[in-house]
Chains A and B, each alone.
Chain A
């Protein structure tokens, strides 16, 4: 055990730096997933057919094994962070799209109708009434996305992506040596810490951006 702490002490700077990279990777991808996902949700929630297609397509992304997707990205995007960000963004879409659609559809129709009756146009209704009311549900989706992506991001090390995955893959390469366990466990713990940080951050952000009237 003390040997593990020695390891952490020795690699401290490394661990922090890799952690920041991991967070950066996930942060960018969550932002992209949220922007694209909300856009898809907003454009499809009203009609059944497009809605179902959006959910089916973003859902099918999640069934592609992450390993395979990362490797498939190489011919297109090379190695390093870019292919990882693209793949993560794809994985992160479903929770955001699904919650955006659910949230918007759950908005009380009487509220929307009275907005309409007061002379708000479609865009005004969406921006000033529907999205703010659906927001707590959307934020929940973003939190799920963040958690999923923090985990999958670790696999990105296979295409030389940054993050705690590098520790885990290093460990994998040295199975049998005493350092292997240390590497894998510290990578895993790092992932957990990043996940907790993201979730807390998003919870606070969600609360700050949700009207007190619907909390």
Chain B
């Protein structure tokens, strides 16, 4: 997730080289009244995850499967890395494109190693290289090669099968991956873990990925860019998750995002990106009267006690201090809770602070040192900023030049 946000914002400012270009792509199934994909033009930048999302039957799968020609387009062109592949040999084309489908489709009669070796074998790699690749990929997807190499798919859990599916798709080191609802058939907790693992992996491998889902939350989490599709694969909006959430292009998009767009946006920002609130802090061992002075000087009702390493130790309020005047600070008040690190999303921070006693989340760095506080005000402020930024970016080209510059600067 960490890497993903940065990719997303760089995508907004500087789109990379185009890896896949769909030009007026269409698919008319025989005997159907309307085309399943109607004249779709889309550019997919190198190294990004582009999500195709939209209601059931809008043509996402058909669109994706035309890229590796599992479904042959009836009109238009597919340009892959500058080369027109609309009429290329499909088998050669497919060996260069990783492919993961919802049902995973592991070969049940082959071991995990044999499954992963499929494409390298087709590409004619020698046995030693293939062997090394199998181990490397199993490690990449956090599965111990010694344990899993010789197992059969039926001996794996659903989540493990999904991992092997991803490893198998990566085996020939393709520049492009197509993924059709790859995490669709998995329980929510495992799905969340696999999504995070996949994003971490993508930060390393930087593949160009076309990812189909019908779940807008997954789209927002996984996508550098999102294409929201309407019936016939017509693009309702093609933009970064931030832009789509803050400036939906039309009612269809707004409806599709649904209510709670602001809440969804909280998944996109991290604690380290926002202004933390200041809070009165005191050292462990301070006199209670001093603490009361500190509290009086601030507008807050309670202070945070830090130890010598600046680690949060206790929350103390004025009544706590007055009740137990002679007890040390670390024996009165409340234990600190809702502690988050800077890379936590605002959504995580919000979840923490809502359940905390004093309704604030304490931010600490990796070594546990106090950095500041997230309270409900910091979160509303963050939402407000995001919204203004996105509005400004969406209006680029509409206003005077200076407004554009300003918007771009705010966007940094």
Query: What residues make up the interface of A, taking CB atoms closer than 8 Å to B?
Result: 108, 110-121, 124, 129, 132-133, 210-214
Of A110, A121, A133, A212, the residue contacting B101 (CB under 8 A) is A110
Residues of B356-392 whose CB lies within 8 A of A: none
User: Which B-chain residue is minimally distant from A111 (CB atoms)?
Assistant: B105
Which of these binds chain A: B92-100, B131-139, B296-304, B307-315? B92-100
Contact B153 A213 (CB under 8 A): yes
Query: Could you give, for residues 77-108 of chain B, a 1 whenever the CB lies within 8 Å of some chain A CB and a 0 otherwise?
Result: 00000000000001111110101010111111
Contact A111 B107 (CB under 8 A): yes
With the chains together, A9 CA to B106 CA distance in Å?
Answer: 58
Q: Is the C-beta of B2 less than 8 angstroms from some C-beta in chain A?
A: no
User: Which B-chain residue is minimally distant from A211 (CB atoms)?
Assistant: B109
CB distance from B95 to the nearest CB of A (A): 4
Q: Considering only CB atoms and an 8 Å cut-off, how many residues of chain B contact the other chain?
A: 28
Of A111, A114, A120, A129, the residue contacting B91 (CB under 8 A) is A120
CB distance from A128 to the nearest CB of B (A): 8
With the chains together, A112 CA to B93 CA distance in Å?
Answer: 17
Of A116, A124, A129, A212, the residue contacting B70 (CB under 8 A) is A116
Contact A120 B122 (CB under 8 A): yes
Contact A214 B109 (CB under 8 A): yes
Of B94, B153, B168, the residue contacting A116 (CB under 8 A) is B94
Of A114, A124, A211, the residue contacting B99 (CB under 8 A) is A114
Contact B99 A213 (CB under 8 A): no
Q: Is the C-beta of B119 less than 8 angstroms from some C-beta in chain A?
A: yes
Contact A114 B153 (CB under 8 A): no
Given contacts A110-B104, A118-B122, A119-B122, contact A213 B70 (CB under 8 A): no
Residues on the B chain within 8 Å of A211, using CB:
108-110, 152
CB distance from A199 to the nearest CB of B (A): 24
Q: Is the C-beta of B118 less than 8 angstroms from some C-beta in chain A?
A: yes
Residues on the B chain within 8 Å of A120, using CB:
91, 118, 122
Q: Is the C-beta of B68 less than 8 angstroms from some C-beta in chain A?
A: yes
CB-defined A-B contacts under 8 Å, sample of 17: A108-B108, A110-B103, A110-B105, A114-B106, A115-B118, A116-B70, A116-B94, A117-B97, A118-B95, A119-B91, A119-B94, A119-B122, A120-B91, A120-B118, A133-B108, A212-B152, A213-B111
Q: Is the C-beta of B154 less than 8 angstroms from some C-beta in chain A?
A: yes
Query: What residues make up the interface of B, taking CB atoms closer than 8 Å to A?
Result: 68, 70, 90-95, 97, 99, 101, 103-111, 118-119, 122, 152-154, 168, 178
Of B105, B110, B119, B178, the residue contacting A108 (CB under 8 A) is B105
Residues on the B chain within 8 Å of A121, using CB:
91
Given contacts A119-B94, A120-B122, contact A214 B108 (CB under 8 A): yes
Residues on the B chain within 8 Å of A212, using CB:
152
With the chains together, A204 CA to B152 CA distance in Å?
Answer: 21
CB distance from B269 to the nearest CB of A (A): 36
With the chains together, A124 CA to B93 CA distance in Å?
Answer: 16
10 nearest A-B residue pairs (beta carbon): A114-B105, A213-B152, A117-B99, A211-B109, A110-B103, A119-B95, A119-B94, A110-B105, A119-B91, A213-B109
CB distance from B171 to the nearest CB of A (A): 9
Residues on the A chain within 8 Å of B107, using CB:
111, 114-115, 129
Residues on the A chain within 8 Å of B111, using CB:
213
User: Which B-chain residue is minimally distant from A122 (CB atoms)?
Assistant: B91
Residues on the A chain within 8 Å of B110, using CB:
211, 213
CB distance from A211 to the nearest CB of B (A): 4
Residues on the B chain within 8 Å of A115, using CB:
105, 107, 118
Given contacts A118-B119, A120-B122, A213-B109, contact A113 B91 (CB under 8 A): no
Residues on the A chain within 8 Å of B94, using CB:
116-119
Given contacts A213-B152, A213-B153, A213-B154, contact A117 B101 (CB under 8 A): yes
Residues on the A chain within 8 Å of B101, using CB:
110, 113-114, 117
User: Which B-chain residue is minimally distant from A129 (CB atoms)?
Assistant: B107
With the chains together, A114 CA to B95 CA distance in Å?
Answer: 11
4 more CB-based (< 8 A) A-B contacts, given A120-B91, A210-B109? A117-B178, A118-B118, A119-B95, A120-B118
